[in-house]
Amino acid sequence: MHLTGTGVALVTPFTPTGDIDFVALDRLVDFVIAEPGQGVEYIVVHGSTGEAATTTQPEKAAVLSAVVRRVAGRVPVVVGVGGNDTRKILAQLADTDFTGISAVLSVSPAYNKPSQRGIVAHYTAVADASPKPVILYNVPGRTGSNVSAATTLELARHANIIGMKEASGNLEQCLAILKDQPDGFQLVSGDDLMTPALVASGAAGVISVIANALPVHFSAMTRAALHGDFAEASRRLFSYLDLNPLLYEEANPVGVKAALATLGVCDAFARLPLLPASDGLTARIKAALPQ
């Protein structure tokens, strides 16, 4: 599927009135792709960073169509289709136009806190229904439950499940998946700063937040790690240590939108209950951006 290297969890730009800013969206797509071979390897639309929790289904369809049109085949596009009601996800899959889409990213159910057996049943239903390969997404900090390594490996045997975005922050769990993952399945880092360490152990790359603002710089780090140049990967990684925590201080994607506004790519507006970054945080983010 060529979904290796850096994927960017694309933000959704908004206007001051809270509408989708499609002009800024086009600009953002061009910014993260950059020159061929310089920017990100693929784009993920409607992930957590895209504020999928507060965009409507018509908005999601319009954003996805706009991104696919602007990408114009330059890189693969992955679409987030997830939630905590399995039947609603199946209906959304049936209603989505998958033209130009390479895969589906589906977060594990939040709030319900299903058992591991429930997670297997949920993802099996999603993968059976999806017309595109499915990437699992484990982010316990948002969902309130963890997808264990054993559950991931059980789901990895499904013919239509091709990977796991792991954002648990649990290195041992990630290593357990990497140790026993079957051919055709890949683990992807969901934590930007863990990318080189996970790549060193066999991960296929990252789906990144920071790559919205630093697509060329961050993608170069991931490529260096994939090519075994960990001295270069570490040099670049260390340059993000001051910036990275600031991106989450007032919730994601508030911080990275402030960075993008500083760079002139899109405005910092978010959807309630999120607010734009405070002036103090914005100033610190601006100061921490690598030159």
**Which residues on adjacent β-strands are paired with residue 107?**
137
Question: In terms of C-beta distances under 8 Å and separation of at least 24 residues, what long-range contacts does 112-118 make, across chains too?
Answer: 112/84, 112/145, 113/144, 113/145, 114/145, 116/147, 116/148, 116/150, 116/151
257 is catalytic: no
CA 150: distance to chain centroid?
23
111 is catalytic: no
CA 144: distance to chain centroid?
18
d(CA 265, CA 237): 23
Distances in Å between the alpha carbon of 12 and those of 23, 51, 139, 152, 213? 11, 7, 20, 29, 13
Question: Of 165, 179, 248, 257, which residue is the catalytic one?
Answer: 165
Question: Of 42, 123, 132, 137, which residue is the catalytic one?
Answer: 137
Instruction: Name the residues annotated as catalytic.
Output: 137, 165
